[in-house]
Amino acid sequence: MRDHFYRNAWLDFQIIMRKIISIAIATAGIILFVFTGFSHAGTLSEEMSRHIAGRIKDTDISAKIICIDRQSCKSVLVPKFYIDRKFKPAWSDDFGPLPYVESFLAVIREASREGLRPDDYHIRKIELILTGLYERILVGESPDIVKLMELDLMLSDAFLLYASHLLYGRIDHHTVYPGWVIYQRSADLTAVLSNAIASEEIEESLAGLIPFHSGYAGLKEKLVSYRRIAENGGWPQIPKGPKMKKGSHGHRVAILRQRLLVSGDLDRAGENTHDVFDQKLEEAVQRFQKRHGLKTDGTVGRSTMETMNIPVEKRIRQIALNMDRMRWLPDDLGDRYVFVNIADFHLEVVEDGREVMTMKIIVGKRDWRSCVLSAKMSYLELNPYWKVPDSIATKEILPKIKKNPEYLARRNIKMFRNWNDQGEGIDPKTVDWSRIGTNKFPYRLRQEPGPGNALGRIKFIFPNECEIYLHDTPTRHLFGRQRRDFSHGCIRIEKPIELATYLLRDKPTWTSKKILAEIRKGKRQVVMLSNLFDVHIFYGTAWLDRGGTLQFRNDIYHIDEVPYTLTFGGVQTAAANQ
């Protein structure tokens, strides 16, 4: 607490001192210029340019340069920025640091509002150098030219790094999540910095890189709220014990009541000092369960209690992490689009900002993760074939064939030498399966249309590098499960006929009745969409729903807590699988 007080006092002192110095510089700039001692060698800016040029030219253009001491600048764009401006300093002139330095530092000090960390952007070293420079200026000494140069480099590096984190995200999700193939938003960050310096609109330039969509802004607000909860001590931990439900009473019920008051699930109007589990408390438990993807039975069993006991600090990190993931989403999701949240096992269709359809989904298992991507849906298939991926053919189907050569016939699966083969294919009985190994499987397997087809009656195609798609499924009982990660990467959907009808609504003849009639014919048929339809598949474990309620979900792929320098191993990316 004392450290926090002294740090705030020190920052206040620095701000006051800089304001005093700014006034002094503005009123006595000519005198200060004489003190700099550069009247014969050139102006202060010219000397700085020579030093910056020397620092950069001593470094390979593709490498990071030294910002200060032996510390490299973190952004590889720093050399390009200075080369483009002919090594002219960006943050100082002939009289020292410019006023917009403080504007930029004010933004960095508030980086935590964006779920980022001020210390990642040299804030302490920059403040120390500034303090030293200002102290020299106050006593009439000439600024240290090397320190001024290093200050300029570090400020530019901090800007470019912070800008890249706002635009692309701080975390390398490609490393954390194999199958994260969504394309990043893009911008010329050196141009952004150049324009910010020229206009002196530092804050506005950086604000333009923040994601536009409301989901990001909503999480940003909740991040502030949850940090406030943490500053006030967080929420209480509920001791282990038997289930609690309506009618229960005791000390643990009183703690439960306090827990839900802190998180806002129990209204203050429902606050009571007694320790009885009443109707209002049951409703609060159900609200908590619903926004955490739990069974909404109003009973506090093991899973509900474990979720309630997750510390607020972990939720804060989860919110910040999901803000970082949202930076990868396109700024414009489209006028009409399908949005899949893998962690929520949920799909919604959105039109003009309104949810017009929603359904349950089944997603990839942990070792067959569904890809995170954005793509354009172009057509759908009725009575589709399922071309079995080699990985599934060798790992799952081959052992079953070896046990029973009739397996393929029973599953209505044909076997070919390659995908160009036509006709009836190869008779499995003619193959010596004891000589076929997983390392070199020479056949291609294709399941024919029919009731048992793994893709069901319809699949929805949006070309993507993972070769996954949305599709129907014959195993519809799995939609009754709370957790639904059973597929090999593709997204199985609960309402394929309804989605197909919606997508084909601008083709009047393609009613739901016609779609079902065509399916009954049993023949594969491709139906093109009149217009491309946006599809976004995302992995979100914290977000705001359309009612503004903060939602959390279990991290089914175990990536919320993984160190971001660690690369996953042994995880397969889905490819043309079910």
Active site (catalytic) residues: 471, 490
DSSP states along 24-60: HHHHSHHHHHHHHT-TTT--HHHHHHHHHHHHHHTS-
**Residue that the structure tokens 């006092």 belong to:** 9
The amino acid present at 472, given as its one-letter code, is D
- Other residues' Cβ atoms within 10 Å of the Cβ of residue 472: 24
Dihedrals phi, psi of 349, to nearest 5 degrees: -105, 130
> How is the beta sheet containing 444-447 ordered, strand by strand?
386-387, 444-447, 413-416
Contact call for residues 215 and 543 (beta carbons, < 8 A): yes
Whole-Å CA distances, 81 to 12, 126, 192, 359, 400: 32, 19, 10, 49, 61
Burial label, 429 (beta-carbon count in 10 A; 0-12, 13-18, 19+) = exposed
Contact call for residues 519 and 457 (beta carbons, < 8 A): yes
DSSP states along 485-507: EEESSSEEES-HHHHHHHHTTTS
Dihedrals phi, psi of 550, to nearest 5 degrees: -75, 125
Distance, in Å, from the CA atom of 365 to the CA atom of 368, rounded to the nearest integer, reads 5
Whole-Å CA distances, 173 to 169, 181, 363, 367: 9, 9, 19, 17
Which among 211, 198, 204 has a CA at the least distance from the CA of 81?
Answer: 198
DSSP H helical ranges for 110-249: 123-138, 145-168, 173-176, 189-199, 202-207, 214-231
Bridge partners (DSSP) of residue 447 are 386, 413
Whole-Å CA distances, 62 to 47, 79, 157: 25, 8, 15
Bridge partners (DSSP) of residue 490 are none
